[in-house]
A and B are shown apart, each in its own frame.
Chain A
């Protein structure tokens, strides 16, 4: 049998991502890998293992903690970093708020848009010149036009008009002091690819990705999980439902979907059949305007 026939689309995506990570390690002075505990960054960690073992990772891991994360995810984040024996840096929005760097209108509003401030502060604090992240082009149309090596100016801004042409796999990693590059090794992966890879590699992920019973309310056509951040308003009815999360972001605006998928195979079956994009189903902050993601990215969002 010809070995080539076993080189599947997942193998191709994996090899591309490994190549990208090694380019970062070789050419950037002080890179960091952004690890949130979410499924995309779990995949990034496996790819980093494949890129660098038997050596340690040539970069630390960092999480920007909004303070609105699901406790299961934070627990998983710490567990996974420890298991890998890699250094984890946590910078929290709570600190940015205390120091007056982030000013919120109310205590329980979504913190997703303000992560950029804490992230940019952390980049400055450590002098990172490259941040490896788990964003994918299929997530959203502003992402569809983003480079794998996405250049940001001194203010962390993404200028969609002024991106460097990216040809073959010859990545331009050069920056001036103060500038940095966001690197997205899984740019070409779709949600389904991520799940298939998690299944194939038997990766552990936080429990809230699987169907579980949870108190939710229906608000603005989506389900919202009840927590200290989200309480029912008058007329809203709390229900106990079997749900799972497709993304694990800010608890105040990350919506679960009704599901009975208890394992990765069942999630893959549901994902292949699903009729709503991942962000459309689960992120209320992306629905505020057609261009919300684009605007946040221009301000330095991940």
Chain B
């Protein structure tokens, strides 16, 4: 009986996080430790890495090998951006976006961070706050990750010193305050030994906070989504074309933020027409209320011309409807920005042509200084002005992640070349 109770996970929440740091900070060991101590590693995986550890002449099983890459990566000595890993505890299901630390760091971290609730920034206790620690924190704040954990790792190598921990915390919090980070937790740990990762261990008795996994399991993430502004980009219009449902028109989509109730007045943008919600359909039933991030089907009282790319909104702050806006842009492609070219802008369910009208500045992510540039290459972060062919319904990214983000697609190669966050 107890077995079945232990695995009653149906009510577990989902938390997505990213780990920022390099192999030298013990990132792979930390992930390996989380997976291992939460009993998420399978015997055959453990056997495979034991074999590899042995082959490479190591004495014990190297947990960092769990996050080792593909044959193509080993052969060519490259790392492929983001790998996703999963583990589950009775309280939550976790998705880790694991991004390699060195090359193409900005592009990889921005990609992995785009869906994360939380970022773990690893700091080596011996080295203290480095340029890369600030860079990671800046990127986490740029991509709007709501929660930060600063994991001060390798405490075993500084004699588990409380002073070392306090010094790093004082220095880094001053920096984070400048970035406006709100939810920040500092945890001392040794991923190698296992202290304060899943178990408390015996060496950090002076630390009264939670071990990392406890923190990940209990931090409140319900407020991570904007709950007051209803935003419903229409994905697909359902018209079943059957006798019985001849006049049925259902607007299918995912609620990006806020909630909706039957009877609510909604405004259709960009047209500006209004109507009331008649029904909220989900599969073979109806709901009284639906909220982000549910995927539902809405019907409305009036016959309006609504199609994919339109947005139903209500409540709180109205969005902007505009053909011009500013954004922070991360250039992702090996092919540099070409000022003469138009790009395809994908924003919510809308795909239209657009062009970068001006580059205000590029951010040096090591110093946070602004530089004047006229070109953008891979990993650059810049503030830009953009013009699009038709009006888009937008919010500032800091107010609303779902309606404040967009990507640029090269219309010739069809590659995704940049990611933007609307200012």
Contacts and interface: CB of A to CB of B under 8 A. Distances in A.
Contact of B92 (A9, A50, A275, A277): A9
A168 B114 contact: yes
B254 A8 contact: no
A49 to B, nearest CB: 7
A170 B405 contact: yes
A294 interface: yes
Most chain A CB within 10 A, of B7, B107, B110, B291, is at B7
Interface in A2-28: 3-16, 18-19, 22-23, 25-27
A192 B94 CA distance: 13
Interface in B370-415: 401-402, 405-407, 409, 414-415
A269 interface: yes
**Residue picked from B107, B235, B284, B402, most chain A C-beta under 10 Å:** B235
A98 interface: no
B85 A196 contact: no
B295 A265 contact: no
A227 interface: no
A273 B3 contact: yes
B401 A168 contact: yes
B9 A172 contact: no
Given A167-B405, A190-B86, A145 B115 contact: no
Interface string B232-263: 00011011111001001010111000000000
A139 to B, nearest CB: 11
A174 B351 CA distance: 11
Interface string A46-90: 000111111110000000000000000000000000000000000
* A7, A54, A281 — most chain B CB neighbours (10 Å): A54
Interface stretch (B38-46, B166-174, B201-209): B38-46
Nearest to A58: B236
Contacts of A49: 283
A142 interface: yes
Contacts of A53: 283-284
B414 A170 contact: no
Contact of A12 (B250, B291, B293, B419): B293
B257 to A, nearest CB: 13
A266 to B, nearest CB: 9
Interface in A258-296: 265, 268-269, 272-277, 280-281, 290-291, 294-295
Interface stretch (B22-30, B76-84, B356-364): B76-84
A144 B31 CA distance: 14
Given A142-B70, A294-B72, A54 B93 contact: no
Contacts of B81: 145, 163, 165
Nearest to B95: A188
A172 B254 contact: no
B82 A167 contact: no
Contact of A160 (B68, B72, B407): B72
A202 interface: no
A50 B252 CA distance: 11
B289 A15 contact: no
A164 B416 contact: yes
B93 A51 contact: no
A3 B289 contact: yes
Interface in A127-180: 137-138, 141-142, 144-145, 160-161, 163-170, 172, 174-176
A94 interface: no
B110 A167 contact: yes
B88 A192 contact: yes
A137 B86 contact: yes
Nearest to A23: B235
B251 to A, nearest CB: 11
Contact of B254 (A9, A19, A26): A19
A176 B71 contact: no
B253 A22 contact: yes
Given A141-B70, A168-B405, A192-B9, A3 B80 contact: no
Interface string B93-116: 101000000000001001100110
Contact of A50 (B69, B93, B107, B282): B282
A160 B282 CA distance: 37
A299 interface: no
A168 B115 contact: yes
Contacts of A196: 9-10
Interface in B266-316: 282-284, 289, 291, 293-295, 308
Given A174-B409, A175-B414, A165 B42 contact: no
B115 A294 contact: no
A200 interface: yes
Contacts of B82: 145
Given A9-B93, A276-B43, 9 more contacts: A14-B295, A19-B295, A54-B238, A144-B84, A160-B70, A163-B80, A167-B405, A190-B93, A273-B7
Interface of B: 3-4, 6-7, 9-14, 42-45, 48, 68-73, 76, 78, 80-86, 88, 92-93, 95, 107, 110-111, 114-115, 222, 235-236, 238-242, 245, 248, 250, 252-254, 282-284, 289, 291, 293-295, 308, 332, 344, 346-347, 349, 351, 401-402, 405-407, 409, 414-416, 419
The 7 closest A-B pairs by CB, nearest first: A280-B44, A272-B7, A291-B71, A18-B295, A9-B14, A9-B93, A167-B114
5 contacts: A265-B4, A274-B42, A277-B44, A280-B42, A290-B71
